[in-house]
Chains A and B, each alone.
Chain A
Amino acid sequence: MKDVAVSICPDGPILVRGARTVVDGDGREHAVTRPVVAVCTCERSARMPWCDSTHKSLVRPDLRGAP
């Protein structure tokens, strides 16, 4: 893939395609090892900078609450 493409998931991570590295807030470089990576935006992931779906327990009470 020639271009890096970024798409933002509502109340979720940022999906990044075509990147070779992602630099985190401390300036550390993380190699991209899969075709698409999900970058954490809730800052609660235990695997920063990658999303581990922790955001699900934090956001969107309308998606979470009992019907």
Chain B
Amino acid sequence: MTGQNTRLPAPCGPLSRHAGDLLRDGAPGIAPTCATASVTTSRDAQLALWMLYEPAYRGFEDVADEREWDPDLICFRQGLEGRFEDELRAAAAPLVQSVSDLEDVGDQVLAMAQRASGVSLSSFLRREATSEQIVDFLRERSVQQLRESDPQSFLLPRLSGPAKVALAEIQYDEYGAGDPARLHQTMFAEALEAAGLDASYAAYVDEVSAISLASANAMSLLCLNRRLRGAAVGHFAAFEASSSVPSRRVSAGISRVGLPQVAAAYFDEHVEADAVHEQVAARDLCGGLVDAEPHLHEDVLFGAAVALHLDGLSATELMARWSDTSLPTEAAS
């Protein structure tokens, strides 16, 4: 659960190898060019980004803490971030356009989450997934959920007034509302253990897909760069707004396949919690920020679209993976 035992993951290409070299030795060397057509779907690029962000969170046992602000490391990270952000902005544009008929930013974010089409991963998990597929889903989510809400804590000093109050209110609930047993990260770790998985922080970083890493990295990109605070707020609101109903379905799926109820408890908690959070996030957090800084309105919508875009990519990826192994082809469409 702590980062004390997390070691640098094994590189899977030139970018993650260079990230590891920078973190371990601080030896600048020559940064490899990012030759991949898509940073979003490149496991090498996403693993590199994840490694470069991690010193801001729990750090690595085999990396000096001083490396967090190493100029060569930051420079390499910015290059990858720029490519990643460009791709996300291009992918987000149609989703942003889809809510141009509405004016209120809270309505827009909620509508975007409602209108986002694509395969419903949670419906499949509820009705059809095998126990192994549900465990696979939990494993893929582990890299981001074991530090659930941590990226958004970096946003607090960047907000003021009602938006800050709204975020703090949500975070207090995410962080257990005074009860360590209700800390959502801990509840997810308990769900992993109940499903027979390793609940230690970043245990599966070597195994999860590029998209799972990209989902975690998008939060770091938006939350660690103050200029992107509008997008970070929108991302968080859309993330919360696409959680309550899916959590109910995942919980039902976990019960259906007979995994322990402790594994379902995390999702049960999110049915009620996120029914609250989505309202507070869309109306008070996004609304409050746009009231205070109207020029960030478009960025809020961009961030919301990023969350939904990556959620869609992840659903498509997992459904395709599972259809390859154990399901008839038509189930993937």
Contact = CB atoms under 8 A, between A and B. Distances in A.
B98 to A, nearest CB: 4
B311 interface: no
Interface residues of B, number: 28
Given A9-B283, A35-B173, A46-B248, A51 B275 contact: yes
Contact of B110 (A34, A63, A65): A63
A66 interface: yes
Interface string A8-51: 01001101000000000000000001111110000000110011
A1 B275 CA distance: 21
B114 A56 contact: yes
A5 B177 CA distance: 18
A51 B1 CA distance: 31
A33 B173 CA distance: 10
Interface string B267-286: 00001111110111001000
Contact of B115 (A34, A51, A52, A66): A66
Given A15-B280, A46-B248, A66-B117, A51 B272 contact: yes
A38 B173 contact: no
Given A35-B169, A52-B244, A64 B271 contact: no
Nearest to B271: A52
B101 interface: yes
A42 B97 CA distance: 30
A60 to B, nearest CB: 8
B contact face: mostly helix, strand, loop, or mixed: helix
Interface string B172-187: 1100010000000000
Interface residues of A, number: 26
A34 B272 contact: yes
Contacts of B111: 62-63
Given A67-B98, A67-B99, A38 B275 contact: yes
Nearest to A33: B177
B136 interface: no
Given A63-B115, A67-B101, A53 B275 contact: yes
A52 B268 CA distance: 10
Most B-side CB within 10 Å, residue of A46, A47, A50, A51:
A51
B272 A15 contact: no
A38 B276 contact: yes
Most A-side CB within 10 Å, residue of B114, B172, B271, B276:
B276
Interface in B212-269: 244-245, 248
12 contacts: A13-B276, A15-B280, A34-B177, A35-B169, A36-B280, A38-B275, A51-B276, A53-B245, A64-B115, A67-B97, A67-B99, A67-B115
Interface of B: 97-99, 101-102, 107, 110-111, 114-115, 117, 169, 172-173, 177, 244-245, 248, 271-276, 278-280, 283
